[in-house]
Amino acid sequence: MPGFLETYFCNPIMQSQGYNLVNTLVFAAIALVLAFFVIFPYFKRKGVKFDFKFALAVLGFVLLGSSARLIEDLRLVARTCNPAEVGFWLVTPGIYIAVGLFAIFSLVLAVWVEKKFKIDKLKFFGVLGFLAALPFVVFDFLSYKQFYGFGLVLFFLVLFFAIVFYILKFLKIKVLNSSFNKLAFAGQLLDGTASFVAIGFFGYWEQHPVSAGILSISPILFPIVKVLVILAILYYTDRELKDENLKGFVKVLVMIFGFAPGLRDWLTIGFSGV
């Protein structure tokens, strides 16, 4: 067991090997079990609605994770697979655990504050996230070497989004008619676009094995595949799920797992040459 953990979980962190099929499947399984069998039922009982407003509020915590992750990218702390050291909490899976626990604590606090002081829980929750992210975002931009790549991602993101939106409109497919779906789709499209720009223009490499396989064929293929898969998920979610809160929760997860790596990659491009 120690050898197994070292090979598939510790070495990828210490040697910057990226992900492999084993740790990817384990991390995904744990995340989905916790999300659907612990987090969703608990906050549903507390009266939290997973809607578009909640998605906007949680963006601050996503930004926190993505911007804090760059502290390790700049080699300001050492990589480690030891949870007793700071570096563990700035790489996967530590960064997801740390930000996830902070977000859950903040939401629990927000629910209590609303009951106690009649302050809107989502506003309180959202402000906490963005305030926590602000110092890291400011530090990241002050450390930037160039903004060309940052602007390039924005250009392609808007271009790709517009192309997809108007194709769907022409075909009278309504999957992107709601603001919630647009936000979830934009998160995943940002991930695909940032990877396309980082690899196609700046020579970065992809850490995830499946994504790497697609990108090895052609960088432009990755955002195309992302678009098709996410549109299918959103279409299925709207069509098949009857529980509106569960439907919203799925879209929030789609958004988080798009924006989290997408924002990190987008911000990282500005450090090209570091």
pLDDT digits (tens, 9 = 90+) for 56-99: 999 999 999 999 998 888 888 888 999 999 999 999 899 999 99
On the question of pLDDT at 145 being above 80, the answer is no
Give the Cα separation of 2 and 22 in Å (integer). Answer: 15
Q: What average pLDDT score do residues 167-180 get?
A: 96
Q: Dump pLDDT digits (tens) for 37-51.
A: 999 999 999 999 999
Give the Cα separation of 263 and 154 in Å (integer). Answer: 11
> pLDDT-based confidence at 1, cuts 50/70/90?
low
On the question of pLDDT at 259 being above 50, the answer is yes
Give the Cα separation of 96 and 50 in Å (integer). Answer: 20
What pLDDT is stored for residue 272 in this prediction?
Answer: 59
The DSSP-derived string for 32-51 is: HHHIIIIIHHHHHHTT---S
Which percentage of the chain shows pLDDT scores above 90?
73
What pLDDT is stored for residue 15 in this prediction?
Answer: 80
19 or 152, higher pLDDT: 152
Cβ atoms of 55 and 46 within 8 Å: the answer is no
On the question of pLDDT at 2 being above 70, the answer is no
On the question of pLDDT at 274 being above 60, the answer is no
Chain center to CA of 126:
16
What pLDDT is stored for residue 258 in this prediction?
Answer: 96
On the question of pLDDT at 270 being above 90, the answer is no
Provide the 8-state DSSP code for 242.
-
Token pair recorded at residue 75: 């080699």
Choice among 82-96, 109-123, 197-211 with the minimum mean pLDDT: 197-211
- Residues written for the chain: 274
91 or 13, higher pLDDT: 91
211 or 97, higher pLDDT: 97
What pLDDT is stored for residue 147 in this prediction?
Answer: 85
Token pair recorded at residue 233: 């998920």
Q: What average pLDDT score do residues 116-120 get?
A: 95
Token pair recorded at residue 31: 């995340």
Mean pLDDT of the chain: 92
> pLDDT-based confidence at 273, cuts 50/70/90?
very low
Choice among 90-104, 138-152, 239-253 with the minimum mean pLDDT: 138-152
What pLDDT is stored for residue 31 in this prediction?
Answer: 95
Give the Cα separation of 181 and 252 in Å (integer). Answer: 10
